[in-house]
Amino acid sequence: MRDFLILFKREVKMQFPRPQKGRTDWFGSLVTLLITLSIAVVFIILVSVIAGNYVTVRIDKVYAPEQRGLELLNLCYIAIIFASTLACLEKMRKTLTEKKDKELLLRLPVKTQTIFMSKLATVVLWIYTFALLLILPVNVIFFIAVKPSGIFWLYTFLTWLLMPMTAFLFATALLIPYIKLIEFLSDKYALILLLFVGGIVGAFLLYSGFLDILKSLVETGAIKFLFNEAFVTTLQSLLVWTYPANSFASIVMGRDLAPSLVIVSVVAVVAVVVMYIVSKRLFYSTLYKNENKKVKGKKKTKYVRTPVLISLVKKEFITVFREPKHLFSYFAIALAMPVMVYCCFMLFDSLISNALGVKADFALAVLVVLVFSILTNTFCASNVSRDGLTALKSKVFPVKASVMLFAKVLFCGIVASIAVIASVVTLGVGASLDAPSVIVCLVCGLAFSFAQVFVATRMDLNHTKPSATPVEIEKMQNRTIAKVVFFGLLIALFMGIIVLIISIITVGELEAYAYIIPLVGSIAYLIIALTYYVRNVEKSFYKLVA
Amino acid sequence: MLIEIKGLCKKYSPKAKYTISGIDIKGYAGEVIGILGHNGAGKSTMIKCITGMHPYERGRIKIAGHDLATNAIEAKKSFGYVSDEFTLFEKMTGYEFVNFMADIYRVSPSDRKKRIARFQKIFALGDSIFNPISSYSHGMKQKIAFMGALIHNPIVFILDEPMVGLDPHTANEVKNFFVDHSRRGNLVLFSSHNLDVVERVCDRVYIIDQGRILEEIKVKEFTQSGRNLEQYFLSITQRVARV
């Protein structure tokens, strides 16, 4: 037991790292907190409004807010179980099957079973924390909306205790196919990119559907086209089959308590047994495996001298393209940008047209392109830090730091340019923008994107610590991303909204300003960003130490 | 003279004491120089300063006649460096990495072809050179790091703990390579705490402890005098520790 506790404590420390002592980036942390809070507040308000709308739907003219609440809760629990299953799947794969520290642990005078149990217990603790962060806000919103009795919290506690087990059951069932899939995809980068782009586009189309619901809410004051009797009746008939999510919803509502409790308890017991058996087999089978997968590369014997800058850009491309995490957060987002821009544009265009009776295509196009440029270029906030210790090693190269950093900026600039050009062309064709609007929009988008790349790269350079642990690097990157997004959004919204106002209140010669303001603003931002980037850049790079 | 270090001092923060201080080293063409010291003696810090990875507070470093502070690019063109940490671009294949290094050092296609063929014989990577570096074992990563550092046939070859992780056959090839490279009019400078390696390949050894050079030893003369390098090293470093 003592060995287990020591190992478990160590695992917990690794999974839930404490902030490092030292200089704190207060501004970065504050911006991160602000962005997180604003996203959470907007999400809670939206869900509350939609929920408020849904509970008013009557079937056969019967007003039954509690029944509607039950259905909503059921839907939320399906989403929570789905998210927990995905999180659990990845956590189990990483903790149980990856080599990492296992070699070291096996040398210690502790039983292998103890090592396994300490790892499994950490996964369980992690998933319970994850589930708590999802269940609590949902139930708090529900408590405020429906105002059930005090015993509601006891049932909430019971739900939190049992629901992660359901996620474990699903995750365990999917674990082996998932691992096989990950292994199969590990070196098929083009296929991974394709899947990521498909996933992002799919998710964005779903999100657009959600925004459509909001649009209907804004336009009509109710979500009538969706939340009607026929829709709710169909939903009801489907929810009957959503075990065990419907059982959890019933428990929280205090309905059919006994059968629901039996169902979720049986699921939990089965989950514990299956999870233990599958996890143990997986853990032991991967304990001594050679993780160095034999990847056969293509034989090449062509020797060509490439200019240094191009070689550095090529190196950037390889390091990003062959890392699925980067592939997703950069290439996939950039490639999906035209779809996202187009969907957002069409939605807000119809919203403004219907609400105000005016067309503001150009202003909207500028606003949407600028905002999505920020999203696409957040990746550049890891331009230096993602290299880790190799950033330090590259100081040995007989190449100026400004050239090495410019290669990174150029690489990001090429990706950003492709994304912006594709987006503006999509808007030009799809939304029939006129030629001057397309050209101005393109220049603004390109200038703004390059400015974001410059700012993000420089901010990252200022905060990079090459020897930091991956967790520390990620935290630092998140703070830099938050700052880059914050500044970018401020500028984009300021310019976009001014242009939007001018477009809406178009009075004679003012119309020209709709073009001049974003053009001048974007180019000015680019010049400021470039100045910020260039200032002491060599010195800052050579200051990097382990 | 291919390396000239004079009064090198380095500290990691303004308030800290110097990690290395008053380092004076001279290295000539045709020599293999060893930097010998315990863990934490300051070997790696010194090498990181020489290669331009760490800024330093005082002193002067000249490589192949180029001052590292004022003519860093030319100085860096003159040396190849293999670090003690495997900081390689792991997503590249070995072949891509060596070619990337050749591009960085502006090596002509014919030279890189000849050198890669020669290194393939020494380091015996075979077709693994076309596989991603992330799939390599510890020793293979060390070998590809060697190839990348040597692709421009550097006049000065600097290494930090180079023998760690190499199999006996490759370690022997590397030792022979050091001697061969120096006999071609180049300089090899490496840090180590492996006394056998130092004794076998080095012409001169600098013993470093607590950030200071304690002694410079001409290995041939020293061994011919019948003294034992290991015992001498232990006695001299223990004496300093007592003081």
* A192-206: pLDDT as tens digits: 999 999 998 898 888
Rounded mean pLDDT, A11-40: 72
Q: Which chain A residue lies closest to B145 (C-alpha atoms)?
A: A393
A9-18, A85-94, A157-166, B175-184: least confident range: A9-18
Using a CB-CB cut-off of 8 Å, the residues of chain A touching B51 are 395-396
pLDDT of res. A226: 65
Using a CB-CB cut-off of 8 Å, the residues of chain A touching B83 are 393
Tell me the percentage of chain A whose pLDDT exceeds 70. 93
pLDDT surpassing 80 at residue A214:
no
A33-42, A217-226, B124-133: least confident range: A217-226
User: Any residues with CB less than 8 A from the CB of B156 and at least 6 apart, and which?
Assistant: B2, B3, B27, B63, B64, B78, B79, B80, B186, B187, B188, B189
pLDDT of res. B204: 93
Q: What is the ipTM of this complex?
A: 0.91
Alpha carbon distance A113, A120 (integer Å): 10
pLDDT of res. A17: 65
pLDDT of res. A546: 66
Using a CB-CB cut-off of 8 Å, the residues of chain A touching B81 are 396
pLDDT of res. A506: 67
Contact B131 A295 (CB under 8 A): yes
Using a CB-CB cut-off of 8 Å, the residues of chain B touching A389 are 85, 87
Contact B135 A292 (CB under 8 A): yes
Cα radius of gyration (chain A)? 27
To the nearest whole Å, the CA of A135 is away from the closest chain B CA by 39
Using a CB-CB cut-off of 8 Å, the residues of chain B touching A396 are 51-53, 76, 81
pLDDT surpassing 90 at residue A49:
no
Domain B3-78+154-242 has CATH 3.40.50.300: yes
A140-144, A294-298, A430-434: least confident range: A294-298
Count of CB pairs separated by less than 8 Å, A with B: 98
Tell me, what DSSP letter sits at residue A306? -
Residue with tokens 């789905």: A82
Contact A296 B131 (CB under 8 A): yes
* A521-531: pLDDT as tens digits: 999 999 999 99
Helix (H) or strand (E) holding A417: helix A401-430
B19 within 8 A of B211, measured Cβ to Cβ: yes
pLDDT surpassing 80 at residue B175:
yes
- Domain range summary for chain B, segments of one domain joined by +: 3-78+154-242, 87-153
To the nearest whole Å, the CA of B68 is away from the closest chain A CA by 11
Using a CB-CB cut-off of 8 Å, the residues of chain A touching B88 are 390
Is residue B107 less than 8 Å (CB to CB) from chain A?
Answer: yes
Contact B73 A323 (CB under 8 A): no
Mean pLDDT (chain A) is: 84
Alpha carbon distance A86, A63 (integer Å): 37
* A250-279: pLDDT as tens digits: 888 888 888 888 888 898 899 889 888 888
* A486-544: pLDDT as tens digits: 889 999 988 888 888 887 776 666 677 788 888 999 999 999 999 999 999 988 888 88
**pTM for the whole structure:** 0.83
| Residues 124-153 (B) with a CB less than 8 A from some CB of A | 127, 130-132, 135-137
Name the residue facing A396 among B51, B107, B136 (closest C-beta).
Answer: B51
Whether a cis peptide bond, with omega within 30° of 0, leads into A244 is: yes
pLDDT of res. B60: 94
* A336-385: pLDDT as tens digits: 999 989 988 888 888 788 777 777 888 889 999 999 999 889 889 889 98
